[in-house]
Structures are given as C-alpha cells and as structure tokens.
Amino acid sequence: MSARDNDPNRDRLLDHEADGIREFDNALPRWWLYGFYLTIVFAAVYVVNYHVLASPLFGRPGMVAEYEAEVEAAPRVTAAPGSGPAVALVALRDEPSLAQGRSIFEGPDNVCSSCHRADLGGTIGPNLTDEYWLHGCSLQQIVTSIRTGFPMKGMMPFGTGKPLTDTQVLQVASYVLARRGSSPADPKPIDPERDVACR
C-alpha cells in the first residue's frame, strides 16, 4: 500500500456541485499526467518542425509544397526532349481524321468537352469557335496548348494528363480549327481583358 493510499485527504469531496454532481479532490494518475505532458511536447515539436522551419527536419513537406513541386515539374515533363511533333504540322481536313479528333475531344479519356462543351462553345474553358482566343489560335499554338495544358488554370496536359500520340494531338487540333466560326448556341462571352483577336 502506497503513502498516497493512506492520505487522509484522499476521496475528499469538494464544496461545489453542478446539477447535484459533486467531485473528489484527488490528484490525477501519473501515467495520465505523463501522457498529457508528452502531447504538449509533441505539439511544440510539430509546430516548430512544420510551421516555423523553412523545411522540416523530419517528415515530408506539406501538401502545398508537394503541389507546388508538381506544378513546377509539369512544364519540364511535357517539354521533354523528343516530345515535338513527329508528324507534319499541317491541319488535317479529311473526314476520318476530324471524326477521330471529335471522338477524342468528346471522349471520357480526355474530357475536353467538359470544360469547352461538346459544341466548343465554352463553359469553364473558353469558347473555341469565335475569333478571340487566350493562348493563340494557330495550329502550332493549339497543339502546344493541348500538349502542355495550363495546370494553374485547371487544364492538365492532354486534358487529363493521359498522353496522346502526335497524330491524335494533330487530329484534335484540326477538329478545333475546323469548328471555328460554327456559332454554337449560347457561347461563353468574350473576355475583352484576356482574349486576343486571331490574325
């Protein structure tokens, strides 16, 4: 039996009560106190490691740092040597190529139509049928836009990041060019501060 068990103040009731409930004035168990102190030390180390230091001494950087590293790496990955067009960069006009470009544009693997609409009139993404474009409207500029995407604006390379062959990219770009001037119903309005007229 410990000296604590012989303490005459053990299990002494306090003078106050709440809703008829009274409490003992006993000391907390040491294991509980040590656990509590350990959580305080852990919290202090965690705050210093992840929120005060420029880079953590242990553990990985946070989600924001990982995301920023991925965004920074995206242009290097998509502009790797040998990623240039292996096919002649000339707009395709034959019906099978345009049909293939349309199926890729509207297909579930590249989700172009989810932002640009199936009729290319634009929702989240810009209207691709008018004469005002954000990133240029030449075949080369469209191919580059498809290849690199605009990750900071939500467009991954190739639409979803799933790579397309050079021929498929050319088919999609040719399909987009072929639909210029098609005047879909209720197109996304021009943003005069960002859109530039094609020449």
**Along the 199 residues of the chain, how does pLDDT read in single tens digits?**
455 556 666 667 777 778 888 887 778 899 999 999 999 999 999 999 888 888 888 877 777 777 887 788 777 655 544 445 456 788 888 999 889 988 988 888 777 888 888 888 888 888 888 888 888 888 888 888 888 888 888 888 887 767 888 888 899 989 988 888 888 888 888 887 787 887 6
Predicted structure pTM score? 0.56
* Domains annotated on the chain, with CATH: 1-59 (no CATH), 95-197 (1.10.760.10)
- Tell me the C-alpha distance between 127 and 190, whole Å: 8
Residue written as tokens 């799933």? 162
3-class SS at 148? Answer: helix
Whole-number pLDDT of residue 2: 58
Contact criterion met (CB below 8 Å) for 91 and 138: no
Whole-number pLDDT of residue 21: 83
Strands (E), the chain: 132-133, 196-197
3-class SS at 121? Answer: coil
- Tell me the C-alpha distance between 166 and 47, whole Å: 48
Whole-number pLDDT of residue 43: 97
Whole-number pLDDT of residue 154: 82
- Tell me the C-alpha distance between 113 and 129, whole Å: 13
Classify the C-alpha dihedral 107-112-116-119 as positive or negative: negative
